[in-house]
């Protein structure tokens, strides 16, 4: 059975500045926390960094051509804050503004709508030096930076996405140190949570102040798909606790205007939340047009009665107040990230979101998978190789079908962005994991279509699965 997507459904591909741009010393860019973090031996699995990445800084015309060939209607890219404001309290860096203007204009010429993420983790190091997201000032500086973008790029951007995955920013950056800036401090992680909520609200206000109500504004969350392993009360309580600290800490302030009081109770041994000031709730709670949702996998959880966490627990120590949340080892065929595949959970979550906020459309701003691709030499092929990636094709099919099932059952889903257009710098895992539908040869920077790119092109062309 073929499912045809709504006429105005948006198909796109996604990337992020630090993961693809390279050129970290060009255009007057300041250092970001990821430059600093990558320089510490042991932080990145292969000792690499985003110094060269996919060189999209120079190769964006070629990458835009690839997107035209794929037939996608939108490109989700991010702006590197350290390119735009290169000094603390300093002036706007014109070279940085000019660079993104060129990219956005090239996208317009190609007929591809930019969905621009304003923060995808590359905080200027000079702000981390003042406390980073644990310091309220970072939210205020974010608003200043966003005002510059709204002013400069107002007529070039289709969708403004304030933040990418504040969960990762707060809990991996400040909780377990798996991401930059590499801190292990749950109190700071919760302060970061709050300041990110504030930054989101301030950014929406800055965009509206410049562009008014017609600007299309979103935020992207990696809502955790926590599944209670049984209906036993302690397992349901574990799911509730994981949902609260992973998801509700953002959904509450951003979409409902308040933190669930249970959050304060659950974390009172960690912090007194005195960083929440009068008026913050109103600031964080700004009307938005779309909710961005990044979905990859699920977490099966059990309560305290169960045994200790398995080795390599993905959540170990990232979030506070998880003492009675045991994450079970992932089951079934795992991706190269060690993540399980459970597309039905995507359908279920989309339906839940639409039930809870019926007037808020949801866009899948990232979905994809990493695998060992099958590369064989073929001198006649472009790039000299042929790449087969049957598992990525299967994952793509299954998850696009899951989105279709949600729409069919009444969910309000308006777009799907494949993560990623290209293989790229996979954060702490460096270049060891490939998520691209297009392969990057990091020696030559050749772009080579994988089977999944052809498959995605067919889905996009048909607007159907
Ligand atoms: C996204 O993060 C990012 O937005 C993107 O930049 C990245 O390249 C892509 O996904 C692929 O990883 O193991 O402790 O992180 C996804 C982040 C992945 C966060 C699953 C939660 C489980 C817990 N999410 N993860 S942990």
- Residues annotated as catalytic (active site), given as ranges: 165, 366
Ligand 1 centroid to Cα of residue 310, in Å, is 19
Give the mutation target among 314, 364, 417 for probing the ligand 1 site: most ligand atoms within 8 A of CB: 314
Residues 6+ apart with CB under 8 A from 443: none
Ligand 1 atom showing the smallest separation from residue 165 Cα: 4
Residue 167 marked ligand-binding:
no
pLDDT band at 305 (very low <50, low <70, confident <90, very high): low
4: which 2 tokens?
């045809």
In a domain, 2, yes or no: no
Please give the Cα distance from 438 to 445 (Å, whole number).
11
Q: Break the chain down into helix, strand, coil percent, rounded to 5.
A: 40, 15, 40
Question: 306 pLDDT exceeds 90?
Answer: no
pLDDT of residue 272: 98
Question: 316 pLDDT exceeds 90?
Answer: no
Give the mutation target among 296, 367, 395 for probing the ligand 1 site: most ligand atoms within 8 A of CB: 296
pLDDT of residue 76: 99
Ligand 1 centroid to Cα of residue 38, in Å, is 17
Q: Which of 111, 103, 121, 152 is nearest to 222 (CA)?
A: 121
Question: 311 pLDDT exceeds 90?
Answer: no
**Number of domains within the chain:** 1
Predicted-complex ipTM score? 0.90
In the DSSP assignment, the letter for residue 105 is: H
Please give the Cα distance from 159 to 361 (Å, whole number).
13
In the DSSP assignment, the letter for residue 172 is: I
Ligand 1 atom showing the smallest separation from residue 121 Cα: 6
The DSSP bridge partners found for residue 115 are 76, 159
Among protein residues, the one whose CA lies closest to atom 12 of ligand 1: 426
Host domain of residue 199 = 10-462
**Percent of the chain topping pLDDT 70:** 97
Q: Ligand 1: residues within 6 Å at CB?
A: 16, 19, 164-165, 168, 172, 178, 222, 294, 296, 314-315, 318, 366, 419, 426, 435
The DSSP bridge partners found for residue 75 are 13, 114
Q: Which of 371, 399, 410 is nearest to 387 (CA)?
A: 371
Residue 262 marked ligand-binding:
no
pLDDT band at 1 (very low <50, low <70, confident <90, very high): confident
Ligand 1 centroid to Cα of residue 168, in Å, is 7
Mean pLDDT, to the nearest integer, of 434-438?
98
In a domain, 40, yes or no: yes
Please give the Cα distance from 339 to 331 (Å, whole number).
9
Please give the Cα distance from 235 to 306 (Å, whole number).
9
Residue 436: CB atoms within 10 Å: 29
Ligand 1 centroid to Cα of residue 382, in Å, is 31
Question: 147 pLDDT exceeds 70?
Answer: yes
**Percent of the chain topping pLDDT 90:** 95
Ligand 1 centroid to Cα of residue 323, in Å, is 22
Residue 454 contacts residue 86 (beta carbons within 8 Å): no
Residue 436 contacts residue 380 (beta carbons within 8 Å): no
pLDDT tens digits along 201-231: 999 999 999 999 999 999 999 999 999 999 9
- CATH number of the domain encompassing residue 134: 3.20.20.80
In a domain, 24, yes or no: yes
Residue 158 contacts residue 115 (beta carbons within 8 Å): yes
Residue 322 marked ligand-binding:
no
Q: What's the burial of 48, exposed, middle or buried (CB within 10 Å: 0-12/13-18/19+)? A: middle
What is the residue whose two structure tokens read 């995955």? 165
Residues present in the chain in total: 465
Ligand 1 centroid to Cα of residue 377, in Å, is 31
What is the residue whose two structure tokens read 């693809």? 20
pLDDT of residue 27: 98
Give the mutation target among 166, 419, 435 for probing the ligand 1 site: most ligand atoms within 8 A of CB: 419
Among protein residues, the one whose CA lies closest to atom 15 of ligand 1: 314
pLDDT band at 382 (very low <50, low <70, confident <90, very high): confident
Residue 99 marked ligand-binding:
no
Omega prior to 51 cis, within 30 of 0 = no
Mean pLDDT, to the nearest integer, of 298-304?
93
How confident is the prediction for the chain on average, in pLDDT?
96
Among protein residues, the one whose CA lies closest to atom 14 of ligand 1: 314
Residue 445 contacts residue 66 (beta carbons within 8 Å): no
Ligand 1 centroid to Cα of residue 1, in Å, is 32
Q: Compute the radius of gyration of the chain from its Cα atoms.
A: 21
Q: How far from 318 is each of 36, 43, 169, 308, 375, CA to CA, in Å?
A: 20, 16, 11, 16, 36
What is the residue whose two structure tokens read 């994988």? 450
What is the residue whose two structure tokens read 């979101």? 353
Least confident of 154-158, 172-176, 379-383: 379-383
In a domain, 310, yes or no: yes
Residue 119 contacts residue 163 (beta carbons within 8 Å): yes
In the DSSP assignment, the letter for residue 160 is: E
Ligand 1 centroid to Cα of residue 384, in Å, is 31
Question: 314 pLDDT exceeds 60?
Answer: no
Residue 296 marked ligand-binding:
yes
Would you say the C-alpha torsion 218, 224, 227, 228 has a positive or negative sign?
negative
pLDDT band at 304 (very low <50, low <70, confident <90, very high): confident
Among protein residues, the one whose CA lies closest to atom 19 of ligand 1: 168
In a domain, 345, yes or no: yes
Residue 404: its H or E element: helix 390-408
Among protein residues, the one whose CA lies closest to atom 22 of ligand 1: 314
The DSSP bridge partners found for residue 420 are none
pLDDT tens digits along 110-134: 999 999 999 999 999 999 999 999 9
pLDDT of residue 20: 99
Pairing of strands 74-78, 438-441: unpaired
In a domain, 3, yes or no: no
- pTM of the complete model: 0.97
Measured CA angle at 163 (ends 86, 459), to 5 deg: 120
pLDDT band at 242 (very low <50, low <70, confident <90, very high): very high
Among protein residues, the one whose CA lies closest to atom 7 of ligand 1: 426
Give the mutation target among 13, 180, 294 for probing the ligand 1 site: most ligand atoms within 8 A of CB: 294
Ligand 1 atom showing the smallest separation from residue 299 Cα: 22
Ligand 1 atom showing the smallest separation from residue 220 Cα: 4
262: which 2 tokens?
């249970």
Question: 184 pLDDT exceeds 70?
Answer: yes
| Backbone phi and psi for residue 413, each to the nearest 5 degrees, phi listed first | -115, 130
Residue 109 marked ligand-binding:
no
Residue 377 marked ligand-binding:
no
Among protein residues, the one whose CA lies closest to atom 11 of ligand 1: 426
23: which 2 tokens?
């050129």
């Amino acid at each position: 059975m073929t499912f045809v997507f709504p006429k105005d459904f948006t198909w796109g591909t996604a990337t992020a500045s630090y993961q693809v741009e390279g050129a970290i010393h060009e255009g007057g860019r300041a250092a970001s926390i990821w430059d600093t973090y990558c320089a510490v031996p042991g932080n990145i699995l292969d000792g690499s960094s985003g110094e060269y990445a996919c060189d999209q800084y120079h190769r964006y015309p070629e990458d835009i051509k690839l997107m035209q060939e794929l037939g996608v209607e939108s490109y989700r890219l991010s702006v590197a804050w350290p390119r735009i404001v290169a000094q603390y309290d300093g002036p706007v860096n014109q070279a940085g503004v000019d660079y993104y203007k060129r990219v956005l204009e090239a996208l317009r010429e190609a007929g591809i709508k930019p969905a621009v993420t304003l923060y995808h983790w590359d905080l200027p190091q000079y702000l981390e030096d003042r406390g980073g997201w644990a310091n309220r000032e970072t939210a205020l500086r974010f608003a200043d930076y966003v005002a510059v973008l709204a002013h400069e790029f107002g007529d070039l951007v289709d969708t403004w996405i304030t933040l990418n995955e504040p969960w990762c920013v707060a809990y991996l950056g400040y909780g377990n140190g798996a991401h930059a800036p590499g801190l292990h401090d749950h109190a700071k992680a919760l302060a970061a949570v709050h300041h990110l909520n504030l930054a989101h609200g301030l950014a929406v206000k800055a965009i509206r102040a410049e562009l008014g109500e017609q600007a299309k504004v979103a935020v992207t969350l990696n809502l955790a798909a926590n599944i209670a392993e049984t209906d036993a009360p302690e397992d349901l309580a574990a799911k509730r606790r994981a949902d609260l600290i992973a998801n509700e800490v953002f959904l509450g302030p951003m979409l409902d205007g308040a933190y669930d009081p249970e959050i304060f109770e659950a974390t009172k041994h960690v912090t007194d939340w005195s960083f929440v000031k009068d008026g913050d709730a109103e600031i964080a709670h700004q009307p938005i047009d779309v909710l961005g949702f990044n979905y990859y996998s699920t977490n099966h959880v059990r309560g305290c009665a169960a045994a200790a966490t398995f080795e390599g627990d993905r959540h170990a120590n990232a979030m506070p107040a998880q003492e009675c949340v045991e994450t079970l080892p992932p089951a079934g065929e795992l991706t190269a990230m060690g993540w399980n595949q459970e597309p039905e959970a995507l359908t279920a979550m989309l339906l839940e979101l639409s039930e809870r906020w019926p007037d808020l459309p949801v866009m899948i701003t990232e979905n994809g998978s990493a695998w060992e691709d099958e590369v064989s030499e073929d001198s006649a092929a472009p790039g000299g190789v042929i790449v087969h990636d049957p598992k990525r094709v299967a994952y793509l099919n299954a998850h696009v079908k899951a989105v279709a099932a949600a729409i069919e059952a009444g969910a309000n889903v308006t777009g799907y962005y494949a993560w990623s257009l290209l293989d790229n710098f996979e954060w702490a895992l460096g270049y060891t994991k490939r998520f691209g539908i297009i392969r990057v040869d990091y020696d030559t920077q050749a772009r080579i279509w994988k089977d999944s790119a052809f498959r995605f092109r067919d889905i996009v062309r048909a607007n159907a699965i």
